[in-house]
């Protein structure tokens, strides 16, 4: 039988969402946890057991995870290519559910607003995944039909020791990349006549700005807590973790809306060129 703490503890609920391997169950638990948090039925309990060392979250048997270089390049002129793109974005959104819940589960003693932001993000990402899964079904496919890579979760593992590094590098680098590349996807899909996938991606692009903005907000909060300069810390983390893997161009209006300042954007452009 679950203890009272386990039924009201937000950290425990986040762990249940992380552990769920079946996509439908992960979505169900995610939406339920967000509703319970809104209703005041979940809260981060100080008595919650400390987080376990990070491992792999619950995942279905498929898709098969391969090195990014082993993923085939498919053009959007074919139905198969458009399905592969929808699948790739669905995989990103599925990972993003786990990334948001791990931010809730792993980092303790944060303000209530932090936990609310990332639980809301998890709920959004679950809805995005459901939209893409439905679109894949319309195209005659399902999540798992194409290979995928594990890059997003690998960065979660690398930053599990530091809320500052996690906030800097997952939402403000990896997820922010979606702000940069999605407009081009939309343009190419529109040229191919795939307005149904375009409609899904337009919703995702609009809502992902707020997720990156949450990363900006809590990264700067962590820096203020620890007496760190946010800009210098961010650039140092980029050098340490990304090396020459930072790519442009950048969606400047969306990144500004998500909290990047002009000096940060200028330095990002320099780093991308140097890479």
| Tens of pLDDT, residues 170-197 | 999 999 999 999 999 999 999 999 999 9
What's the pLDDT at 4?
A: 40
The C-alpha atoms of residue 171 and residue 110 are separated, in whole angstroms, by 17
Instruction: State the pLDDT confidence band at 75, using cuts at 50, 70 and 90.
Output: confident
- Tell me the two tokens of residue 57: 């979250």
Please determine, looking at this structure, whether the domain spanning 78-274 carries the CATH number 1.20.1260.10: yes
Burial class (CB within 10 angstroms; exposed 0-12, middle 13-18, buried 19+) of 4: exposed
Instruction: State the pLDDT confidence band at 274, using cuts at 50, 70 and 90.
Output: confident
Lowest mean pLDDT segment, chosen from 22-31, 135-144, 189-198, 266-275? 266-275
Task: Give the SS3 label for residue 43.
Answer: strand
Q: Which of 95, 104, 109 is nearest to 10 (CA)?
A: 104
Instruction: State the pLDDT confidence band at 5, using cuts at 50, 70 and 90.
Output: very low
Task: Give the SS3 label for residue 40.
Answer: coil
> Per residue in 49-61, pLDDT tens?
999 999 999 999 9
Q: Which residue has the tokens 């979250």?
A: 57
The DSSP output letter for 71 is S
Q: What percentage of the chain reaches a pLDDT higher than 90?
A: 88
Task: Give the SS3 label for residue 207.
Answer: helix
């Amino acid at each position: 039988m679950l203890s009272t703490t386990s039924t009201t503890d937000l950290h425990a609920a986040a762990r249940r969402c992380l552990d769920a391997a079946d996509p439908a169950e992960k979505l169900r638990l995610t939406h339920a946890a967000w509703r319970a948090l809104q209703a005041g039925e979940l809260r981060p309990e100080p008595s919650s057991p400390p987080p376990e060392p990070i491992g792999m979250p619950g995942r279905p048997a498929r898709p098969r995870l391969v090195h990014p270089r082993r993923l085939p390049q498919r053009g959007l002129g074919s139905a198969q290519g458009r399905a592969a793109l929808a699948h790739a974005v669905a995989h990103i959104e599925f990972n993003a559910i786990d990334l948001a819940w791990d931010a809730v589960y792993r980092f303790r003693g944060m303000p209530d607003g932090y936990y609310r932001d990332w639980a809301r993000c998890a709920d959004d990402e679950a809805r995005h995944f459901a939209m893409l899964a439905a679109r894949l079904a319309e195209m005659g496919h399902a999540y798992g039909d194409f290979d995928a890579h594990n890059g997003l979760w690998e960065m979660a593992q690398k930053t599990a020791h530091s809320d500052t590094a996690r906030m800097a590098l997952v939402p403000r680098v990896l997820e922010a990349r979606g702000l940069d590349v999605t407009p081009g996807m939309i343009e190419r899909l529109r040229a191919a006549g795939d307005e149904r996938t375009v409609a899904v991606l337009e919703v995702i692009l609009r809502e992902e700005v707020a997720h990156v903005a949450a990363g900006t907000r809590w990264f700067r909060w962590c820096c203020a807590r620890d007496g760190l300069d946010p800009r210098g810390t961010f650039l140092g983390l980029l050098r340490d973790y990304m090396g020459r893997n930072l790519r442009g161009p950048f969606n400047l209006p969306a990144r500004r809306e998500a909290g990047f300042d002009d000096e940060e954007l200028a330095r990002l452009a320099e780093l991308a060129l140097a890479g």
